[in-house]
Amino acid sequence: MNNLTINKPIILSIGLVLLLILISGCSQPASEIVEEEILVEYIKLTPADFRTRIAEAPIAYLPLGTLEWHGEHLPLGSDGMQSSSFMKDLARQAGGIVLPMLFLGPDMMMTSDEQELYGMDFWLSLEEGLTYMTPQQLDGSSYWVPDSLFHQIMDHSIKQLARAGFKIIVAHGHGPSTRHVITHWKEWEEKYNVLIYTCWSWNIRGENDQESSEISDREGLGIMTDHAAMNETSLMMYYYPDLVLMEQLSPDTAQWPLAVAGRDPRLYASAEQGQKAVEFQLERMTILLRKSLAYIR
């Protein structure tokens, strides 16, 4: 009886201490519990942030976007959304800073009945034996500039990035924009003393990455290697699942989706496929960029 009376205060004290510890843990600020996001977007950095990141890795990532038809099932900004998202992942892993996307880009152009048509407006109509479509202005496409103007935009962009202290520039996105970079990379490297890359394994600064290219082609693990088909749809499913509306496409696979080029997204696209592509290319590009950083230092 006496022992129970003596131990009650001790038990109550222990319980109070445990309660205070529990309350203290629960009241910890969320910012201390959740891992802080690494800021990699140029527009969000303060000068101090900028100095820190460029000192760690002087890499600039330039998403080459468009406002362009990507089938009835994908957003018009899919080019820039895919490239920006992948580049942010890459910057967090390999270092560097991601610029805002360019939405203007070059492409094929033709005139039909006094109407200018660009890129996917007519491109598939030229592909005999693949997909037939009547040349037409596709809803929402608003991006085209001639090669000469795009070249000036890129030239001045690279000049400014070199001036700001970047030594490596990764430019990737819209197919014709990326091909323009591949065509002129050497000119800009010599002019501005930088290294220039795209994210296509089959042609990086004019170099052939044969092994990665074969795996990418065989398993569909590239970054933006078709037009609104399996690859791009899978990447969008991975990064922006709520914005991919597959129900907007006809379930009849005998009816080809308008202005979609590549493997049928209705049969082959998935978020899992997009994730595999991202992980494969993140590993490849990280190795590549770290080697380049070691070279320039």
CA 95-99-102 angle, 5° bins: 140
Tokens representing residue 289 in the block: 């960029």
For the chain, the domains span: 32-296
**Residue 295: predicted pLDDT:** 87
Q: Calculate what percentage of the chain has a pLDDT beyond 90.
A: 74
DSSP code for 246? G
The mean of the pLDDT values for the chain is 88
Q: Provide the pairing of β-strand 109-112 with 59-64.
A: unpaired
User: What is 32-296's CATH superfamily?
Assistant: Creatininase (3.40.50.10310)
Of 5-14, 39-48, 97-106, which gets the smallest average pLDDT?
Answer: 5-14
pLDDT at 204: 64
List, for residues 178-226, the tens digit of each pLDDT value: 999 999 999 999 999 999 999 997 666 656 677 788 888 889 999 999 9
- Do 195 and 179 meet the contact criterion of CB atoms below 8 Å apart? no
User: Which token pair is 211?
Assistant: 């092994």
The answer on pLDDT for 34 being more than 60 is: no
Other beta carbons within 10 Å of 18: 10
Asked if pLDDT for residue 249 goes beyond 50, the answer is yes
- How does residue 23 score in pLDDT terms, banded at 50, 70 and 90? very low
Least confident segment among 44-53, 208-217, 235-244: 208-217
